[in-house]
Amino acid sequence: MAKTLVIGASGGIGAALCRALQDAGHEVTALSRRTDGIDLTDEDSIRDALAPLTPPYAQIIVATGALVIDGAEPEKSLRDLDPAALAAQYQLNAIGPALVLKHALRLLPRTDRSVFAVLSARVGSIGDNRLGGWYGYRAAKAGLNALIHGAAIEVARSHPQAICICLHPGTVATEFTRAYAGRHPTVPAPEAAANLLRVMDGLSAEDNGGFRDWSGQTVPW
Specify the pLDDT at position 186: 87
* pTM, to two decimals: 0.95
Architecture field, domain 3-213: 3-Layer(aba) Sandwich (3.40)
Specify the pLDDT at position 184: 72
Specify the pLDDT at position 137: 98
pLDDT of the chain along its 221 residues, tens only? 789 999 999 999 999 999 999 999 999 999 999 999 999 999 999 999 999 999 999 999 999 999 999 999 999 999 999 999 999 999 999 999 999 999 999 999 999 999 999 999 999 999 999 999 999 999 999 999 999 999 999 999 999 999 999 999 998 987 666 666 566 788 999 999 999 999 999 999 999 999 999 999 999 99
Q: Which residues pair with 27 in a beta bridge?
A: 3
Rounded Cα gap, residues 92 and 68, in angstroms: 11
Q: Identify the helix (H) or strand (E) that includes residue 116.
A: strand 114-119
Helix (H, G, I), strand (E, B) or coil at 186: coil
Distance set, CA 117 to CA 135, 144, 155, 164, 186 (Å): 24, 11, 13, 6, 21
Distance set, CA 218 to CA 10, 63, 94, 98 (Å): 28, 19, 20, 21
Specify the pLDDT at position 39: 98
Q: Where are the domains of the chain?
A: 3-213
